[in-house]
Amino acid sequence: MTDIAPVSARRDLSQAPLLVAAAGGRPSRVPVWFMRQAGRSLPEYHEFRAGTPMLEACLDAEMVCEITLQPVRRHGVDAAILFSDIVVPLRAAGVDLDIVPGTGPVVAEPVRSAADVARLPRLSEDQVRPVADGVGLLLRELGDTPLIGFAGAPFTLASYLIEGGPSRNHERTKALMRSEPDTWHALLGRLTEIASTFLRVQVAAGVDAVQLFDSWAGALSERDYREFVLPYSAAVFASLADAGIPKIHFGVGTGELLGAMRQAGADVVGVDWRIPLDEAARRLRAADPGGPEPVVQGNLDPALLFASPDVLEREIVRIVDEGRSAGGHIFNLGHGVLPHTDPDVITRVTEFVHGLSPADAS
């Protein structure tokens, strides 16, 4: 009988620290995972992916499964994050782009006019079927470790499409947003559909939480964020309203935007290292005074994984302590694992955080 039970029936995630913390409950330990835990820092990743281009690996269910599992096996983290990339749904839909090693996503024909927006393809669920298949394989392997699905938020995707690649200043993006608002709104509307479809496919396949990465939103003023970005991120979250799983929202340099990002519909807000978690919690509380106590994720500076063990431990203790002032805390970095990070340090940080009782307030 049990052999034919659906996979979901065989996974008991009711006590999973990540999900308990995300719901504002009291987890058995401080949950910890690392943005970009899969990939570059792991020798087994380089060995396994050798010869396969990044985006090809992201659209191969078995590779997705294996690479997603690698950091879970090695570090004992409290969540797996799907091995994919924010540009995967764009590529799957037919946008001509690639991920150039050491650079990031590069778009062959940047989107800079209303005609370019009109030419952008839509995403069908079938085009990302390998991602759903990868999720299916993972649910069989992960046991009681939750799987986080993700997508890039409309603004961050728009920046790559408009700039044509990674950008320090996002100047073409901001210029288009302010000079041609109709084109901007059409583009963001289209990207909202793509991100929503990509996430809904992952949810239907069984992911246990989702994270919407608006990595570069911190480049905007709160005023521009509210007018030109928030409605679209909110629409992505609204498209998941019936999913019944936690929704995490993250960006870099977003100290001034945290309240607005919560208002977009996030259950958990990621915080980079620029502001302490207790201050982040205050800002999140102020954005929804009658709402549930805010849950935060973060916020160790990824560069500190290169510091001496005593410095690193002191920093972790401070972060966990400041995290106690929120309604829940999921330990993470303030941004992704940097290349050349020693994976053994990531394992030690995981163990150290697990050794800090969530109840042992100082």
Q: Which is nearer to ligand CP3, 99 or 114 (CB)?
A: 99
- The answer to the question of whether 45 is labelled as a binding residue is no
Within 333-352, the residues that bind ligand CP3 by CB under 6 A are 336
Q: Which is it for strands 328-333 and 295-300: parallel, antiparallel or unpaired?
A: parallel
Active site residue 40: yes
Within 24-43, the residues that bind ligand CP3 by CB under 6 A are 35-40
Within 205-234, the residues that bind ligand CP3 by CB under 6 A are 213, 215
Q: Does 198 bind ligand CP3 (CB under 6 A)?
A: no
Q: How many CA atoms lie within 13 A of 270 on its CB side?
A: 28
Query: Token digits for 140?
Result: 């069989």
- Least CB distance to ligand CP3 at residue 357 (A): 27
* Strand extents, DSSP E, the chain: 80-81, 97-100, 104-107, 147-152, 209-213, 247-250, 268-270, 295-300, 328-333
- The answer to the question of whether 40 is labelled as a binding residue is yes
- Reduced to 3 states (helix: H, G, I; strand: E, B; else coil), residue 241 is coil
Catalytic residue among 160, 225, 283, 285: 160
For residue 209, list its beta bridge partners. Answer: 148
Question: Looking at 99-107, 137-145, 173-181, 285-293, which segment touches ligand CP3 (CB under 6 A)?
Answer: 99-107
Q: Does 83 bind ligand CP3 (CB under 6 A)?
A: yes
Active site residue 49: yes
Q: Does 99 bind ligand CP3 (CB under 6 A)?
A: yes
Which candidate, 257, 272, 360, 280, places its Cα nearest to that of 327? 280
- Least CB distance to ligand CP3 at residue 183 (A): 23
Catalytic residue among 49, 190, 262, 283: 49
| Surface-to-core class of residue 145, CB atoms within 10 Å of its CB (0-12 exposed, 13-18 middle, 19+ buried) | buried
Place of tokens 């936690």: 246
Cα 33 to Cα 336: distance, rounded to the nearest angstrom: 11
Cα 341 to Cα 109: distance, rounded to the nearest angstrom: 34
Within 139-168, the residues that bind ligand CP3 by CB under 6 A are 150, 166
Cα 42 to Cα 238: distance, rounded to the nearest angstrom: 35
- Least CB distance to ligand CP3 at residue 99 (A): 5
- The answer to the question of whether 11 is labelled as a binding residue is no
- The answer to the question of whether 206 is labelled as a binding residue is no
- The answer to the question of whether 85 is labelled as a binding residue is yes
For residue 213, list its beta bridge partners. Answer: 152, 250
Positions touching ligand CP3 (CB under 6 A) are 35-40, 54, 81, 83, 85-86, 99, 101-105, 150, 166, 213, 215, 336
Please give the annotated binding residues for substrate, written as ranges.
36-40, 85, 160, 215, 335
Could you list the active site residues?
36, 40, 49, 85, 160
